Amino acid sequence: MDLIPTTVGGLPLHPLVVHFSVVLLPLAAFALLIAIFIPRFRKNYGFATLVGLFIGTGATVVAKQTGEALAEQIGLPQKHANYGSYLQTAAIILFFLSLIWYRVAKTKPSIKPNALGYLTAVISLLVLGLTFLTGHSGAEAVWKNKSPSTNQSSAMPSPSPSKTSATSKSSNAKSYTLAEVAKHASTSSCWSAIDGNVYDLTNWINLHPGGASVIKAICGKDGSTSFNGQHAGQGKPAAELKNYLLGALR
């Protein structure tokens, strides 16, 4: 969406605005649950809850758009992107349901929630769950396998060269720079650097189970963050990747 800026002060907007989604939205959804079942809370804080839902829902829309813009630069963590899309849809549905529920609750006050109230409560719980999954998958994409303790434990077991580096040395002694990788940033010639090696993913674009857009997003770039965010610890994707090895990154 061109109307939404993607950076603020030279920093990506996505990690800044996402806090509104993962903090304000679940707080408002939880407050809505209380308002549905406790009339006194509804009377005092119902309108404030709607305002919180409006801001939180808007934040999910902005977060999704800025996240897609950021993915074009660093690659797309597919699981996080999927949860983000589900959360945006659920948040929009919850906001409009809450508006209808609030209007009905004001005109026809009742101690017990009606069917609309129960439905709104269920969607509120769904939003809470999706917020957790979206935030967790995003944190995994950024931090998994990058903490000092993780890096230490993965480095300690064996002083011998890793299987991937051994493969790159034995199968192809040629090495490439990121500048050379950047020259292959199209669907007709798609190279990507992943964990210290360079791969030609051109033929894999339309074969990728997660969709062609995931591979297109890392063409001509270092795709380590995207690959590890989605496939860290999975043997099959790592084995598949070796089929497209060109050489080491220098």
Closest CA to 98 of 177, 161, 45: 45
Report pLDDT for 49.
94
pLDDT tens per residue across all 250 residues of the chain: 456 666 666 666 777 778 778 889 999 999 999 999 998 898 889 899 999 999 999 989 888 887 776 666 555 567 777 888 899 999 999 999 999 999 998 887 777 888 999 999 999 999 999 999 888 877 776 665 554 444 444 444 444 444 444 444 444 458 899 999 999 999 899 999 999 999 999 998 888 877 788 888 899 999 888 888 778 777 888 888 888 999 999 8
User: What one-character DSSP code corresponds to residue 239?
Assistant: H
Report pLDDT for 109.
75
Closest CA to 142 of 54, 65, 74: 74
- 244 with 199: CB under 8 angstroms? yes
Could you tell me the pTM of the whole model?
A: 0.57
Q: What residue spans define the domains of the chain?
A: 10-143, 162-249
Report pLDDT for 5.
67
Q: Which residues pair with 245 in a beta bridge?
A: 199
Q: What is the DSSP string of 61-111?
A: HHHHHHHHHHHHHH---HHHHHHHHHHHHHHHHHHHHHHHHHHHHHHS--S
Rounded to whole angstroms, the Cα distance separating 137 from 141 reads: 6
Report pLDDT for 120.
94
Rounded to whole angstroms, the Cα distance separating 3 from 106 reads: 36
CATH superfamily ID and name for 162-249: Cytochrome b5-like heme/steroid binding domain (3.10.120.10)
Query: Which backbone phi and psi does 93 adopt, to 5 degrees?
Result: -60, -45
What's at 130, amino acid-wise?
L
Alpha helices in the chain (DSSP H): 14-19, 25-37, 39-74, 78-107, 115-143, 148-155, 163-171, 178-182, 212-216, 224-231, 235-242
Rounded to whole angstroms, the Cα distance separating 48 from 27 reads: 11
- 45 with 98: CB under 8 angstroms? no
